[in-house]
Structure 1
Amino acid sequence: MPGFLLDLDGTLYHGDRPIAGAAEFIAWLNKNQFPYLYVTNNSSRTPEQVAAHLEKVGIAARADEVLTSAQAAAMYMKEQKSGGNVYLIGESGLELAVRDAGFHTDTERPADFVVQGIDRSFSYEKLAAAVRRLRAGAAYVLTNPDHLLPWNNELQPGAGSIAASIEKASETQPVVIGKPSPIIMNYAIERLGLPKEQIWVVGDNLRTDIQGGLAAECHTALVLTGLLTRDTVEEYIGRTGLRPELICDNLQQLADRLASEGE
C-alpha cells in the first residue's frame, strides 16, 4: 500500500485559493485508505491552523495529519537537549511547538539554541540578540531554508532570507530542518509508518519537495500546479539536476497514473 507526503502551497492551494482537483485527490486517498501526511515548511502556523486553512479551501484535514517545520525543529532540539533554553525568532506556530516540547524561552538566561523561522516582525534588535547568543555558543536551528514564499501569485521574503543576515553576522551555519533536509523527511516517514520504498513525496518544488524525496529514497511526483509549467520544467530539471519519477499536470493526473500502474 502506498503512502503520501504532501506539500501544500502550489500543490493543494495557492494562498487562500484551492487548486482544482485537490479536494478530489484527498477524497481518492481516503476512499482507498492510503495513508498520507501534510508536510509543510511553513513554521508560522500550528497544525490546527494548517488544518483549518485546508478546510477553508475545501480540503479535508485534521491537525494530526500535519507535520510542520516548527514541530520538526522542536523534535530535533529535544533530541539534542531536552528542556533547554531557546531564543526564538518566529511566529505563533514555532513558539507553541517549542513550548509544547518542554523548552524555556527565558531571554535572561543563556540560550542553548537559537531557533528561527519566518518572522514578519524581524528587527535589528532581534538580529543582534540572535548573533550575540550564537557567538556565545548557542546552536543555530533554522526551520526552513526558503528564501521566498509564494502567496496569491506573489513572492515574499521567507525564513531563509532572514537566516542569511544571521548567518553572515554570526559566522554560524544553521542546522536546517525543513525540506529538503532529511531531518523533516525522516520524521515524516517515521510518522507515516511505512517503508520509504512505499512512499510518494508529492509537490511542486524541485529544490524542496523533490530533492527531499530523492534524498530520502522515496518515490517522487512533481505536479505542475505551482512553480513550474510544461514549458519550464525541463529547463529547471537541467539546471538543478533533480528529476522526479513522475511529472504530472495536476493531482488528478497523478491519481490516474498511479491507479493505472497498480500503485
Structure 2
Amino acid sequence: MNEMYKGYLIDLDGTMYNGSAPIETARVFVSELEKKGIPYVFLTNNATKSQEEAVQKLIGMGVETSPEKMYTSAMATAAYISAHHRGETAYVIGTPSLKGILEDAGITLTEDEADLVIMGLDPEINYRKLKHAALLIGGGAAFIATNPDRRFPTEEGIVPGNGALQQVLVETTGVEPVTIGKPSAFILEGALEQLKLEKDEVALIGDNYDTDILTGINGGVDTIHVDTGVSPAEEVLKKDVLPTHIINNLSEWSV
C-alpha cells in the first residue's frame, strides 16, 4: 500500500508501543520517515510525561526522534489555559510532569480554592484528590480534562485511562469537562501548527477509534487505523464512519 502524504501525525500508546513493550513495525516506519526526510509529529493524549520524557522513552526503544517532533495533551492543555484562562489558578490531578508543564506556561497551581480543576491520568489517584476536586467543581471551578481516553494499553493489557477515572467527578458533580486531547479540534490544530502542514497534506495514524480516528474524521484529516492497540480492526469495521485506511501494522504502509 502506498499513499502520498507530505507528513504524518502519529499516536504513541498502542501505536508505537504498549506500556514498555515497543511495536517494532512502528519503529521501522519512523526510521523510514527520518531517512526520507518526511515530516511527522507524535500526537499523544498521554499527559503523564513532559515533551522531553516522552521522547526519551522512544529513544530508549531505538526510535530516532527529537523533542520538536512531540506534541502532547499536556502541552495542548497548557496552551488552552493560557489562551482562555490566563491569570487563573488551578488545582491539578496528575503527574509531577503535567504540573511542571502547566507551571512553565505561567499557570498558578494551588491546593486550596482554585478557578480551575485540571485532570490528567494520575497513577497516585485517591479518594482525597477526587473529593477535593469534586468540591471545587461543585463550588464553581471550571473542569478541564487533558484527554478522554477510557482505556489505556500496557504490556499487561488494557487498564483504566483518564476518561474512566474522570467519570467519578462527572457522576458526582453533573459537570462534563472541557476536553483538550484527541478527538478535540484544539489539540489537532496545535499539532498541525507544529507539523507546519495543512490538513489535506497529512494522515493521522492511531489505534484508538474513539480518540485517534475520530480526531481525523471530525477534523478533516485522513486516518490510518493500526490493529496494534485499543480498538480491534473487527470492531472498527462495524463503525458507521470508517477510517480512511485500515491496516494490521505499519509494515503494511510504505512511504
Per-residue CA shift, 1:95-121, capped at 9, x if unaligned?
11110110111223x312100011122
Deviation at 1:194, TM superposition (A): 0.8
Match of 1:185 in 2: 188
Measured after TM superposition, the shift of residue 152 of structure 1 is 0.1
Matches within 5 A, 1:144-159: 144-159=147-162
Distance 2:135 2:204 in 1: 38
Give the secondary-structure state (helix, strand or coil) at the position aligned to 1:150: strand
What RMSD, in angstroms, separates the aligned Cα atoms of the two structures? 1.5
- Paired AA for residue 171 in structure 1: G
Q: Conserved in 2, the CA contact under 8 Å of 1:210 and 1:242?
A: no
Q: Which residue of 1 aligns with 2:67?
A: 63
Query: Percent identity over the alignment?
Result: 35
CA 1:222/1:90 → structure 2, altered by over 3 Å: closer, same or farther? Answer: same
| Of 199, 202, 207, the match for 1:204 | 207
Residue 226 (structure 1) shift: 2.4
Q: Which moved more, 1:48-57 or 1:242-251?
A: 242-251
DSSP-derived class of the 1:21 partner: helix
- Could you say which structure has the greater relative contact order, defined with CA pairs below 8 angstroms and 6 or more residues apart? 2
Pair 1:189–1:123, CA change in 2 (3 A): same
Q: Aligned AA for 2:84?
A: Q
The answer to whether residue 132 in structure 2 is matched with residue 133 in structure 1 is: no
1:253 maps to a residue whose letter is E
Looking at structure 1, the residues matched to 165 and 230 of structure 2 have their Cα atoms a distance apart, in angstroms, of: 22
Question: Could you tell me the TM-score, scaled by structure 1's length?
Answer: 0.90
Match of 1:107 among 108, 111, 115: 111
**Which residue, 7, 10, 16 being the options, matches 1:6?**
10
Listed as ranges, the gaps of 5+ residues in structure 2 are none
Query: In the alignment, residue 246 of structure 1 is paired with which amino acid?
Result: H
- In structure 2, distance between residues paired with 1:13 and 1:179: 18
Q: Where does residue 87 of structure 1 map in the other structure? A: 91
Does residue 78 of the first structure (1) align with residue 77 of the second (2)? no
Aligned length: 251
> Cα 1:26–1:254, aligned 2, differ >3 Å: closer, same or farther?
same
**CA-to-partner distance for each residue in 1:62-84, whole Å, 9 max, x for gaps?**
22211111111111111112232
1:253 matched to which residue of 2? 252
1:56, 1:197 → 2: CA distance? 33
Q: How far apart are 1:228 and its partner, in Å?
A: 4.8
From 27, 34, 44, the counterpart of 2:31? 27
Report the CA distance between 1:17 and its aligned residue.
Answer: 1.9
Q: Aligned partners of 1:133, 1:13: CA distance in 2, in Å?
A: 36
C-alpha separation in 1, matches of 2:60 and 2:72: 18
SS in 1 for 2:24: coil
1:109-134 residue CA offsets vs partner (Å, 9 max, x unmatched): x3121000111221221112111211
